[in-house]
């Protein structure tokens, strides 16, 4: 049902690379979570990884844990400042004058510090629930798993979005599946319409917390 919706809907346009348009191709992982409501009704939730058609919100899909492209948010302001620093560095480097070397080094140190602060601000927006209502932050989850820092994009995959929404709405997860739609990135092997487990790098520590205490029928929720 979700694949039919993605293929036939007219509400948004996203270049999955399934036509002759070879520019800005972005294939996408989609997820479906079958749930049981408090009224014992059975239904399903759907989600996409990252952004779809440049946005975080679309009908028939659960919302993100954090909307980084929301107007007036700290992320937009932070990226604007980062672009300003990059432009200033590029302008000084184009002058090719030795007198600017110290200033360029200082700007690069400033850029690194600003990027790190911005990334940590993003991480701090993510807090994940499990079936008992216990909440853990993204940094806490990855620290407990032995990571120095979470990888960029952690928390933006389909499975965590689906489980978070289900727990927020007091729904019981019954079954989950994720499939790839579109062309695969050169660095990956995903095939159009094929089903895959969640990724180990970004999802394994998060799902270990979110699924803790639940009886799992299959062990291949996370890829090896």
pLDDT, position 224: 47
Lowest mean pLDDT of 95-99, 100-104, 145-149, name the range.
Answer: 95-99
Residue 210: both structure tokens together? 């979110």
Token pair listed for 71? 């107007």
Residue 86 and residue 195 in one domain: no
Do 96 and 39 share a domain, yes or no? no
- Do 149 and 196 share a domain, yes or no? yes
Q: What is the DSSP letter of 71?
A: T
- In this prediction the pTM is 0.86
- Indicate if 62 and 135 belong to the same structural domain: yes
Distance CA 160, CA 103 (A): 43
- Give the DSSP H/E element, type plus range, for residue 31: strand 28-36
Q: Are residues 134 and 44 in the same domain?
A: yes
Least trusted range by pLDDT, from 68-77, 121-130, 214-223: 214-223
Q: Do 198 and 134 belong together in one domain?
A: yes
Structural domain total, the chain: 2
The pLDDT, as a whole number, for residue 218 is 65
CA angle 33, 48, 145 (to 5 degrees): 75
Half-sphere exposure of 79 (CA within 13 A, CB side): 9
Q: Confirm whether 33 is domain-assigned.
A: yes
Q: Are residues 136 and 157 in the same domain?
A: yes
Using the 8-state DSSP alphabet, how is residue 64 labeled?
Answer: P
Q: Which residue has the tokens 């993510």?
A: 126
Q: How confident is the model at residue 95 (pLDDT cuts 50, 70, 90)?
A: confident
CA 101 – CA 93 distance, rounded (Å): 8
Structure-block tokens of residue 60: 């028939």
Distances from the Cα of 70 to the Cα of 46, 57, 74, angstroms: 21, 10, 9
Closest C-alpha to 180, from 162, 192, 166, 189: 192
Mean pLDDT of the region 154-170: 96
Q: Is the dihedral of CA 123, 81, 24, 5 positive or negative?
A: positive
Whether residues 96 and 13 share a domain: the answer is: no
Residues 6+ apart with CB under 8 A from 100: 92, 93
Q: Which of 61-65, 73-77, 130-134 has the lowest average pLDDT?
A: 73-77
183: phi then psi, degrees, rounded to nearest 5: -70, 150
Q: What does the pLDDT read at residue 200?
A: 87
Distances (CA, A) of 197 to 69, 157, 175, 221: 28, 12, 12, 5
Query: Coil, strand or helix: which one is 199?
Result: coil
What is the span of the domain harbouring residue 97?
74-121
% of the chain surpassing 70 pLDDT: 96
Q: Are residues 113 and 186 in the same domain?
A: no
């Amino acid at each position: 049902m979700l694949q039919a919706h993605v293929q036939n809907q007219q509400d948004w346009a996203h270049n999955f690379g399934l036509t002759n348009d070879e520019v800005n191709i972005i294939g996408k992982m989609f997820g479906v979570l079958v749930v049981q409501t408090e009224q014992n009704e059975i239904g399903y939730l759907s989600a996409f990884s990252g952004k779809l058609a440049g946005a975080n919100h679309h009908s028939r899909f659960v919302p993100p844990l954090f909307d980084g492209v929301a107007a007036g948010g700290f992320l937009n302001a932070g990226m604007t400042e980062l672009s300003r620093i990059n432009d200033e560095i590029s302008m000084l480097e184009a002058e090719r004058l030795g007198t600017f070397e110290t200033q360029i080094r200082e700007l690069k140190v400033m850029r690194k510090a600003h990027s790190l602060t911005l990334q940590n601000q993003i991480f701090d927006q993510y807090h994940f629930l499990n079936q008992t209502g216990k909440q853990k932050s993204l940094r806490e989850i990855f620290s407990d798993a032995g990571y120095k820092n979470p990888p960029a994009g952690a928390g933006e995959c389909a499975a965590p979005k689906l489980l978070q929404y289900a727990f927020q709405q007091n729904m019981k997860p019954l079954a989950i599946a994720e499939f790839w739609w579109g062309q695969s990135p050169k660095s990956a092997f995903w095939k159009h319409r094929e089903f895959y487990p969640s990724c180990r790098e970004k999802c394994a520590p998060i799902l270990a917390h979110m699924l803790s205490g639940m009886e799992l029928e299959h062990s291949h929720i996370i890829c090896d």
